């Protein structure tokens, strides 16, 4: 046994097994880190509101000591209320800024959304077509369009309801 442990072949075999063990542990650590990152980003879009929009009212905030029967019903359906959802394909609100071909709109939840206007965008005031230069801050508008990868809504149609100067 002592002869085997002193032989060069045994030392080489132990070194190879040691290197393989270190490689296996490193590989397992990499998989662990990757899984942790994947779990974080797996439902990032679904959890965006919860992570970045703040807390929602709890069941006791619907009235009564435990919410009452209607409180329980509201709690059950609170995810369907639309509270805090981003407006992916359209937005309604007030113009707070106009720069170049971009509008910044404040919606009913006081969230600011950027809208990109291009040459193909139709802007309507009643039955009349207007240009982006005719829009003013505090105009009430509804925008229909497609979301861009950068979070900007690319407007197809903008409908102006109340112009700030003509109320």
Section 41-61 average pLDDT: 59
Exposure on the CB side of residue 68, measured as CA atoms within 13 A = 6
Residue 165 DSSP code: T
pLDDT for the residue numbered 126: 87
CB atoms within 10 A of CB 139: 24
Of the pLDDT bands very low, low, confident and very high (cuts 50, 70, 90), residue 163 is low
In b/e form, how buried is each residue of 101-132, taking b as 16+ CB within 10 angstroms?
A: eebbbbeeeeeebbbbbeeebebebeeeeeeb
**Are the CB atoms for 142 and 161 separated by under 8 Å?**
yes
pLDDT for the residue numbered 77: 55
Distance CA 140, CA 158 (A): 10
Of the pLDDT bands very low, low, confident and very high (cuts 50, 70, 90), residue 17 is very high
pLDDT for the residue numbered 116: 93
Distance CA 85, CA 48 (A): 9
Among 2.60.40, 2.40.50, 1.10.3430, 3.90.380, name the CATH number for the domain at 90-162.
2.40.50
Q: Could you give the percent of the chain with pLDDT greater than 90? A: 43
Q: What DSSP string runs through 18-30?
A: HHHHHHHHHHHHH
Q: Is the pLDDT of residue 162 over 80?
A: no
Sign for the pseudo-dihedral over CA of 87, 88, 90, 93? positive
Distance CA 25, CA 15 (A): 15
pLDDT for the residue numbered 4: 79
pLDDT tens for residues 84-136? 555 556 789 999 999 989 999 998 888 888 999 999 999 999 889 999 999 99
């Amino acid at each position: 046994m002592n002869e085997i442990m002193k032989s060069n072949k045994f030392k080489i075999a132990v070194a190879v097994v040691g290197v393989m063990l270190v490689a296996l542990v490193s590989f397992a650590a990499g998989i662990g880190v990757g899984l942790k990152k994947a779990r974080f980003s797996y439902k990032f879009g679904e959890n965006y509101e919860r992570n970045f929009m703040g807390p929602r009212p709890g069941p006791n905030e619907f009235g009564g000591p435990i919410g009452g029967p209607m409180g329980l019903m509201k709690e059950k359906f609170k995810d369907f209320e639309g509270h805090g959802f981003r407006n992916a394909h359209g937005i309604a609100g007030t113009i707070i800024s106009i720069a170049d071909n971009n509008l910044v709109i404040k919606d009913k939840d006081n969230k600011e959304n950027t809208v990109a206007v291009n040459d193909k965008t139709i802007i309507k005031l009643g039955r009349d077509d207007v240009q982006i230069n005719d829009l003013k801050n505090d105009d009430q508008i509804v925008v229909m369009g497609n979301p861009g990868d950068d979070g900007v809504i690319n407007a197809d149609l903008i409908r102006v309801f109340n112009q700030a100067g003509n109320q």
